[in-house]
Structure 1
């Protein structure tokens, strides 16, 4: 399955910078890293998978964008609760004021959810629990019933309902709506935390003042007005399956730069790309620019062959001089990085205006 080359704005690839080892916790693969940049230092918190696909989070440190100088021999973050018994996955990190916020995916073997942990020093994290809606599909369907004429909402329900797991009918009755890929903006807007998440297959936005505000009642009201919260839907040829938040948004003079992943349906399976969009600084639900082609697509051998073939899954960024470095999971078992000129990317986005249908 070769991907045709496109004349578009694409990143320069620097290859694989982290691979699995023979340590038990990461012998299956390393992937989908959270990145926090502190000057010339890049802190990386990566998903580490062991046999059986049980995941923890490992830690390593780079000086400059690609020079590995430290790597822990044990996980820094592990499952503790029943809802994450099968793994803690795909972290993202944002610093707001003096606190680091790590969002991650919990997996219990059947259901996945978005969760939050906080830290003051990037070494010890305090888990705050699940922050995404937890509704079984039947209840979710009832909550969005008034909006099923909306194509985007109808697709969310259709995709979740069609999930094909080898489960008994009894277990399927407890299957929850699929929500993951939570990223937080690196500052509060109008005094509130702002996050992006993905009720499959589109990207939605949510706001809250405190974690305790994210109650079942909050999410019930949110879902009753779901169309109002959709930021982006799959739109282009490289997004025929779904899209989802990637790295935390980056504040620029032109808007919030969002690097997200796009999944394309192909005859032999899905192909994952990295894509870019620009959101309004004051109202990040408004999309003001969006590229019609991906900026990173799986063309290299290390992106096309691995635990899952043809995957570029961006989850972290760093900026050195005028270059934006994008860190991503490659073929679901290694970590690679690519870069592009930040100012050129912003110019390209402004030349591709896009306005979503927010009220």
Structure 2
């Protein structure tokens, strides 16, 4: 059976989150497939351990997905070989940015297949986190940037699956640029709820997500019945020399399952922003990018990438109110 966790101490917004003083918790290593950059992890709890499925690559910038485990949520042991690697044309330059959910004995992993032109949201399934069946791109001919900054071709990323049915269907929230929704009868085949010119949530002018929004983490079901998801938002600044500087910060949204196509509320200020050296310097600088969230040993652990180069965590104790926004 599907197990749905209702977190009795979860409210909107979640937090405050405080970046761990020992960050980064994972760095690139050696001269292997993860020698250059390591970031953007999915997270889940399995057998009293936190499991991270993270993106990493060597200097060739061809991403694979690796796995690491921890008994305290802070110190991780990683396996030498990736668990998911490029095989097909649509992902030949990378399997990127995973999100994961566990339903009825099966892990459903969404990730981005990258061919250096189109980014496509893809799906893979497994019963053991080792042997994966790839189901290919989910939303061909869909551009989630269409109302923001059109790509002119297929582009979709960032899918999070709700771990229970709503009105008899499975639901997914997805999108980079703007956010959309889709439904499924079998968790494998997904149909967008609208065309790509009708997002359910768009960037907010004048805010920290003025130029793009992207779904971050899988939903948390609060004791009030709301779905809360962490998000990523970005602003772009054109400098005097014509180069573009980006700044990625983390937000939150709340959705009422009774009206699953509407964002009920959004966090007005980011709960995390670039501050440390690793947040501010890297392959893509000025980035805090959240993709993993778990409740573990009584605390929330939010895992995020730092400037597409290292991996960090911010921790929240639910006994502490949201009086002060972590991240300044």
- TM-score, normalised via structure 2 length: 0.85
Question: Where do residues 260-279 of structure 1 align in structure 2 (5 Å cutoff)?
Answer: 260-268=231-239, 269-279=245-255
Contact 1:23 1:73 in 2 (8 A): no
Aligned residues: 302
- Larger RCO (CA within 8 A; separation ≥ 6): 2
| Deviation string, structure 1 residues 94-130 (Cα, Å, up to 9, x no partner) | 0112111000000012111000011111121111111
| Deviation string, structure 1 residues 211-248 (Cα, Å, up to 9, x no partner) | 5644xxx55x8318x53xx3321115201210000011
Alignment of 1:119 onto 2:95: no
Aligned equivalents of 2:321 and 2:309: distance in 1? Answer: 28
Alignment match, 2:195: 223
Taking a change above 3 Å as real, the CA distance of residues 160 and 109 of structure 1, as seen in their structure-2 partners, is same
Structure 2: gaps (5+ residues): 1-14, 240-244
Contact 1:160 1:177 in 2 (8 A): no
Question: Greater helix share, 1 or 2?
Answer: 1
- Give the counterpart of 1:85 among 92, 96, 99: 92
Alignment of 1:25 onto 2:2: no
Taking a change above 3 Å as real, the CA distance of residues 343 and 129 of structure 1, as seen in their structure-2 partners, is farther
Alignment match, 1:357: none
Aligned equivalents of 1:343 and 1:273: distance in 2? Answer: 25
Contact 2:16 2:320 in 1 (8 A): no
Alignment of 1:193 onto 2:170: yes
Contact 2:16 2:324 in 1 (8 A): no
| Deviation string, structure 1 residues 256-295 (Cα, Å, up to 9, x no partner) | 1100101122345110011111111333323222110000
Return the index of the structure with the highest Cα Rg. Answer: 1
Structure 1: gaps (5+ residues): 1-8, 141-152, 162-174, 350-359
Structural RMSD (CA)? 2.4
Tell me how far 1:249 sits from its aligned partner: 0.9
SS across alignment from 1:26: coil
Taking a change above 3 Å as real, the CA distance of residues 42 and 63 of structure 1, as seen in their structure-2 partners, is same
